[in-house]
Amino acid sequence: MQLSVIKANGTTEEYLHTKVFGTFSHALDDIGRTNIFAAEQFAEAVTFHLYHNNHSSSVKSENIHDLVVTVLNETGYPDAATALTDHRMCRKITRSRIEVIEDQYTPGTSNTTSAARWNKTKIVKDLTQKYDLDKKVARAIAASVEEKVLKLGMTQIHSNLVEQLVISETNTMVRAEQQLEPALT
């Protein structure tokens, strides 16, 4: 059975052990106690727990976060648990403050501007529906674009800039896939 994750925005995605490993790894890095072995062991424990103690085929992302924090607290890394929780809260606040601005020009009329809250899921949806990209690849592209947008530190970003970032990341990802294909055959 493949476990699915219900994200905060209501969408679902496949549970990935590697994301949990990455979360542990980043949390330990944030406190200057990099430990790949511990991160892998902790991720194995969380994955095992979710697959063997979860009575459903899905789990909320918040529950995974709580489990990760519990593991960090109970294994002598409370400062990593605090850093992880602080990081998650800051990202949530930052995302909620970002508006994507779109200008609509119609010849012979006044120009109008609309704004919408940042939504990484919209990028994934566009890439999978309009360009028939694999959902995992689309999520990776959207995550990379979001990282760049968050690093800009802007509360308003123009939709054209988001579109250019998506095109750039998509081209990079497609080139990387094409370079890997010969190596895999």
Chosen domain end from 75, 94, 113: 94
Note whether 10 and 90 are same-domain residues.
yes
Identify the pLDDT of residue 21: 96
Note whether 105 and 85 are same-domain residues.
no
Identify the pLDDT of residue 185: 65
Most confident option among 1-15, 33-47, 170-184: 33-47
Bridge pairing between strands 112-117 and 4-6 = unpaired
User: 40: pLDDT confidence band, cut at 50, 70 and 90?
Assistant: very high
Note whether 167 and 138 are same-domain residues.
yes
Contacts 24+ apart (CB under 8 A), 136-142: 136/14, 137/173, 137/177, 139/13, 140/173, 141/166, 141/169, 141/170, 141/173, 142/166
pTM of the model: 0.76
The domain tally of the chain equals: 2
Q: Can you tell me the mean pLDDT for 166-175?
A: 91
Note whether 66 and 115 are same-domain residues.
no
- pLDDT surpassing 70 at residue 35: yes
Question: Cβ(11)–Cβ(135) under 8 Å?
Answer: no
Q: How far apart are CA 128 and CA 125, in angstroms?
A: 5
User: 117: pLDDT confidence band, cut at 50, 70 and 90?
Assistant: very high
Residue 28, domain extent: 4-94
